[in-house]
Amino acid sequence: MMDITGTYTDQYQLAMGQVYFLSGRKDQTAVFDYFFRKNPFKGGYTVFAGLHELLKVLEKLRFDAEDLSFLRFQGMHPDFLAYLKGFRFQGTIHACREGDLVFPTRPVVRVEAPLIEAQLIETLLLNMLNFQSLIATKASRMQRVAQGRTLIDFGLRRAQGLGGYHASRAAVIGGFAATSNVRAARDFGLAPSGTMAHSFIQSCADELTAFRQFAEGWPDNCVLLVDTYDTLKSGVPNAITVGKEMARRGHRLKAIRLDSGDLAYLAQRSRAMLDAAGLHDVKIAASNQLDEYVIKSLLEQEAPIDLFGVGTNLVTGQPDAALDGVYKLAAVDGQPLIKISENVEKITLPHAKQVFRAFNGEGRFLGADAVGIAGEPPITMMHHPFMPHKSFPLADCPLEPLLTPVMKQGRIVADSPDLPAIADFCRSRLALLPAEYQRFENPHIYKVGISTRLRDARDRLIAEHKS
């Protein structure tokens, strides 16, 4: 879709990169963690998305001729420019599986690379993972309340510019079945979906003529928009007329779409009218400013809606608009590092780390992820990161390591699952997450603790900084 080049970054990465280069530090080995501090939407979990798109871009990332000429014009050092000309990302990345459920404060991705390379990719990594994780999470919340109804992404016209492209991909990971976004459908193998706008009805002599013309053009995929003039007095009766005509010709009217007014009321009345006409298998689609709360409310009112088309609130991740993911340095040349902060929750964790998910006796998530130093012996006890007296025994729990190698020396080593497989994985993980973490109001907080070794290593570094 887009030729992402080396300049898809923040200026300060290049400014630092030049200093790393000129001071001879570029090949120091750095370890960076990607994590976030808060689940979006006041929710209890986040769906991790964007990984395989990121890896594909990283494998091919180059500074092209335009990049180099721009940077030369900006006064970058000639030797650094020569380095950038040959730039390849050659780092190693461990990550959670795309589609997994992830929780605040612990590493979701670990990047080990020459310092300069790890720095230059930071912005790209954050840009892709933050946004797609936000949207996949939003989508999964709608999927949770949709009671098996079909969810369709209608968001491109209100998306944040080109951002709509990956929004449609992420929506499918979170449980959406299809998208109106044809380009995203083309590139990501999604099902495109959509039928008619009000303009089509307006452009015809009358609504019935418009419906007939559309049914003729799309005899096997005909969804009629019924609210252009008057939903119950004109739209639905005309749709019934055309639905019967189609049936006589051996076709089937697939659905009607409601796009304004009281959707619960109109769906009930429309369903009754369709059923009375014998059109029991004509479905009802609804759209218009939907989000997870409206969908939940509509279904609580037993609105007979079969398909929901969701636009703005899905693809822009309203009301949050951004996941607050960060990328923090944890070690250089094997030396563990922390960032001190007066806010203890913002003190980072040193070392290359692994994360383990604890399971309960029934094979579901226990509600605890433990972060340890990569390679340390099995963790038997995890500690609250900041409260010394809170700890939690893990000796009897099955633990699953979450960070697995996905890229080695710049080459993708993980299988690249297709989107349905990522969406399936997401669904399977949600099935393992107890309901109290999934509810919208004051969800349970998923515990994230640290191993004894990691805690001690961090506390030593804090003490060193203080002295």
User: In the range 317-376, which residues lie near its own copies by CB under 8 A?
Assistant: 317-319, 321-324, 327-329, 332, 337-343, 346
**In the complex, what is the shortest distance from the CB of residue 91 to its own copies, in angstroms, rounded to a whole number?**
15
CB closer to its own copies out of 288 and 391: 288
Tell me how far apart the terminal alpha carbons of the chain are, to the nearest angstrom. 52
Between CA 192 and CA 17 the distance in angstroms is: 42
Least Cβ distance, residue 168 to its own copies (angstroms): 11
Residue 25 found at the interface with its own copies (CB under 8 A): yes
Question: What span, in angstroms and rounded, lies between the C-alpha atoms of 81 and 261?
Answer: 59
Q: Which is nearer to its own copies, 200 or 392 (CB)?
A: 200
Residue type, 72: R
Map tokens 């049914």 to a residue: 215
Using rule CB under 8 A, residue 174 touches its own copies = no
In the complex, what is the shortest distance from the CB of residue 418 to its own copies, in angstroms, rounded to a whole number? Answer: 16
Q: Of 319 and 378, which has the nearer Cβ to its own copies?
A: 319
Nearest distance in Å: CB 256, its own copies? 14
Please report where in the chains the tokens 């969406």 appear, as a residue.
423
Q: Which of 46, 92, 105, 132 binds its own copies (CB under 8 A)?
A: 132
> Which member of 92, 105, 127, 354 binds its own copies (CB under 8 A)?
127
By CB under 8 A, name the one of 123, 150, 241, 288 that touches its own copies.
123
Q: Which two tokens stand for residue 87?
A: 């730039």
- Binders of its own copies among residues 408 to 467 (CB under 8 A) are 465
Between 20 and 356, name the residue whose CB sits nearer to its own copies. 20
Q: Which of 319, 326, 389, 378 is nearest to 354 (CA)?
A: 378
Identify residues 283-312 at the interface with its own copies (CB under 8 A). 312
Question: In 10 A of CB 37, how many CB atoms?
Answer: 12
User: Whose Cβ is closer to its own copies: residue 69's or residue 404's?
Assistant: 69
Least distance (Å) between residue 141 CB and its own copies: 16
To the nearest whole angstrom, how small is the minimum distance from the Cβ of residue 296 to its own copies? 21
- Two tokens at 352? 């290359």
Pairing of strands 109-114, 255-258: unpaired
Question: Environment class of residue 434 by beta-carbon count within 10 Å: exposed (0-12), middle (13-18) or buried (19+)?
Answer: middle
Footprint on residues 190-229 left by its own copies (CB under 8 A) = 192-200, 202-203, 213-214, 216-218, 221, 228-229
Radius of gyration in angstroms for the set of CA atoms belonging to the chain, rounded to a whole number: 26
Amino acid at 188: F
| DSSP-assigned states of every residue in 243-286 | HHHHHHTT----EEEE-SS-HHHHHHHHHHHHHHTT-TT-EEEE
Counting contacts by CB under 8 A, is residue 405 touching its own copies? no
Rounded Cα distance, 392 and 368, in Å: 9
Q: Which stretch binds its own copies (CB under 8 A): 180-188, 238-246, 274-282, 438-446?
A: 180-188
Three-class DSSP category at 322: coil
Omega before 319 within 30 of 0, i.e. cis: yes
Segment interacting with its own copies (CB under 8 A) among 39-47, 165-173, 298-306, 396-404: 165-173
Instruction: Output the smallest distance, CB 82 to its own copies, in A.
Output: 16
Shortest reach from residue 377's CB to its own copies, in Å: 28
Q: Which helix (H) or strand (E) holds 24?
A: none
Nearest CB to its own copies, comparing residues 134 and 397: 134
Judged by beta carbon, residue 69 or residue 147, the one nearer its own copies is 69
Query: To the nearest 10°, the Cα dihedral for 107, 112, 114, 116?
Result: -20
Q: Rounded to the nearest whole angstrom, what is the least distance from the CB of residue 311 to its own copies in the complex?
A: 9
Q: Which of residues 62-121 bind its own copies (CB under 8 A)?
A: 66-67, 70-71, 74, 115, 119
Nearer residue to its own copies within complex by CB, 395 or 463: 463
- Read off φ and ψ for residue 391, nearest 5 degrees: -145, 170
> Closest distance between its own copies and the C-beta of residue 338, in Å?
8
- Sign of CA pseudo-dihedral 69, 71, 72, 74: positive
Minimum distance from residue 229 beta carbon to its own copies (Å): 5
- DSSP assignment of 67-101 equals HHHHHHHTT--HHHHHHHHT-----EEEEPPTT-E
Among 39, 46, 181, 451, binds its own copies (CB under 8 A): 181
Q: Candidates 52, 110, 166, 271: give the one binding its own copies (CB under 8 A).
A: 166
- Residue 240 CA, distance from chain mean position: 40
Q: Which of 99, 114, 164, 372 binds its own copies (CB under 8 A)?
A: 164
